[in-house]
Amino acid sequence: KQEVTQIPAALSVPEGENLVLNCSFTDSAIYNLQWFRQDPGKGLTSLLLIQSSQREQTSGRLNASLDKSSGRSTLYIAASQPGDSATYLCAVQDSNYQLIWGAGTKLIIKP
Amino acid sequence: DAGITQSPRHKVTETGTPVTLRCHQTENHRYMYWYRQDPGHGLRLIHYSYGVKDTDKGEVSDGYSVSRSKTEDFLLTLESATSSQTSVYFCAINRGNYGYTFGSGTRLTVV
């Protein structure tokens, strides 16, 4: 059974720092991996999607990598800003088109 | 989010009453999903649909039913609402190579 783990559960850093959020999964047979952001009381916003055949995707200050063989993905945020404060969720899609979720990393960027 | 809307956004209902939540998409995607999100439990799949009149149960389907009579609409019904069904409900569509997109959510309170 696929399990997804996100470390750390919470992270607080000063504004301007570069940071890395980690996501690991137990079964490498994934269709794709998607990173989401959720602000308190709000919905989920898709940040980046990495297909199983890809190694990384970039969008602005965000870069996500995927290493299927080791069951790991990282989300790199460059030059963090207070507006980046949110919960970041990692989800893998299996061959049955189901999403298996990590518990999330709550990120706080201090001004 | 673009292409998917949920209604209502907020609802307060009494225990024992039926409640229907609506999810509408404008992009003609085959797969649609209903999730609930609760503190400490993350996102849990209730039901999903893989086509008109084709639905299946998720991990927390007890007390819920769904219907999909048109590609664009996926309805979630609580036959007799209970306080344990107080939650935030999210609908999602699977956009294939573009991943999942979520609706803005419905905050349901059962009193």
pLDDT single digits (tens) A9-48: 999 999 999 999 999 999 999 999 999 999 998 999 999 9
Q: Residue A33: its pLDDT value, please?
A: 97
Which pLDDT band, with edges at 50, 70 and 90, does B106 fall under? Answer: very high
pLDDT at A90: 97
Using CB atoms within 10 Å of the CB of residue B98, give its burial: 0 to 12 exposed, 13 to 18 middle, 19+ buried.
middle
Instruction: Please report the pLDDT score of residue B97 as a whole number.
Output: 87
Chain B residues with CB under 8 Å of A59 CB are: none
Q: pLDDT of A77-99, one tens digit each?
A: 999 999 999 999 999 998 888 89
**Rounded Cα–Cα distance for residues B36 and B46 (Å):** 7
3-state SS class at A91 = strand
pLDDT > 90: percent of chain B: 90
CA A19/CA A7 separation, integer angstroms: 12
| Neighbouring residues of A56: CB distance < 8 A, sequence distance ≥ 6 | A50, A63, A64, A65, A66
> Under an 8 A CB cutoff, do A44 and B50 touch?
no
Cβ-based contacts under 8 A for chains A and B: 41
Q: What is the mean pLDDT of chain A?
A: 95
**Nearest residue of B to residue A33, measured between CA atoms:** B99
Of A43, A46, A97, the CB nearest to B105: A43
| Residue B94 contacts residue B33 (beta carbons within 8 Å) | yes
What is the rounded average pLDDT for all residues in chain B?
Answer: 95
pLDDT for res B40 = 83
What was the pLDDT predicted at A50? 96
B6-48 pLDDT, tens digit each: 999 999 999 999 999 999 999 999 999 999 999 888 899 999 9
B2 pLDDT more than 70: no
Classify the C-alpha dihedral B75-B40-A34-A32 as positive or negative: negative
User: How high is the pLDDT of residue B20?
Assistant: 98
Does the distance separating the beta carbons of B1 and A45 come in below 8 Å? Answer: yes
